Structures are given as structure tokens and as C-alpha cells.
Amino acid sequence: GIQVEQSPPDLILQEGANSTLRCNFSDSVNNLQWFHQNPWGQLINLFYIPSGTKQNGRLSATTVATERYSLLYISSSQTTDSGVYFCAVERLDTGNQFYFGTGTSLTVIP
């Protein structure tokens, strides 16, 4: 399967700070999603972004498919942003499986 590595593994931010999370993948992909897992375990879809750049409020994401990485930007972080952020990738020629990255655990302190 595809190897998906995320960095950093852990991140602690002061409320109001900005951050960049990175996702590297080992092979070309057809789909990529960013998820936020809240403390109750719910996985919330943030972005569906196989390529290009998207923005949603304080969050934005960029995927450079040719260089096999994606970035998630969080600006003006809030305590509610705490949780684990996962990227997941899919290759259609290997079946309909999404492979999850290792995750970044974010803690935002007031």
C-alpha cells in the first residue's frame, strides 16, 4: 500500500497562533482528504483536495500532487481546533481504499 507520513506528530500552540501541518505520500494518488478527529472520536471531513488550494474560514489546504505532499494551514488557532488531524489518500487502481497518515495531534492552549 501507499505510505503516508504526517509531520509534526505533536504540536502545542498558544491560542491565536498559526500552524502548518504536512502530509507526504509515497506514490501518486487520485484523492486526498484532510480530517479532524475530535476528542469524542468523530472524524470530520475538512477538505477533499486531490490537487490545488482550497480555503474554508481559518483553514486552508494545498496539495502538490506532482511532488506528493499536502499542507493544512490553521490560522488564528482556537482551543476547539484541538484534536488529531489526519490526511488520507486513495489510489483508484488499487481498489477503493483510503490509506490514513500517521496523524498530527494538536493541542491549543488558552
Partner 1 sequence: DAMVIQNPRYQVTQFGKPVTLSCSQTLNHNVMYWYQQKSSQAPKLLFHYYDKDFNNEADTPDNFQSRRPNTSFCFLDIRSPGLGDAAMYLCATSRVGSRPGYTFGSGTRLTVV
Give the interface with partner 1 as residue ranges (CB under 8 A). 31, 33, 35, 40-43, 45, 48, 86, 88, 90, 95-103, 105
The residue among 11 and 88 lying less far from partner 1, judged by its C-beta, is: 88
Nearest to 19 by CA among 102, 85, 89: 85
Q: What is the 3-state secondary structure (H, E, C) of 63-97?
A: EEHHHCEEEEEECCCCHHHCEEEEEEEECCECECC
Helix (H) or strand (E) holding 5: strand 4-7
CB of 98 to partner 1, least distance (A): 6
Least separation in angstroms between residue 43's CB and partner 1 is: 4
Q: How far is the CB of 16 from partner 1 (least distance, A)?
A: 27
- Measured CA to CA, the distance from residue 43 to residue 41 in angstroms comes to 6
CB closer to partner 1 out of 88 and 106: 88
Which C-beta is closer to partner 1: that of 13 or that of 86? 86
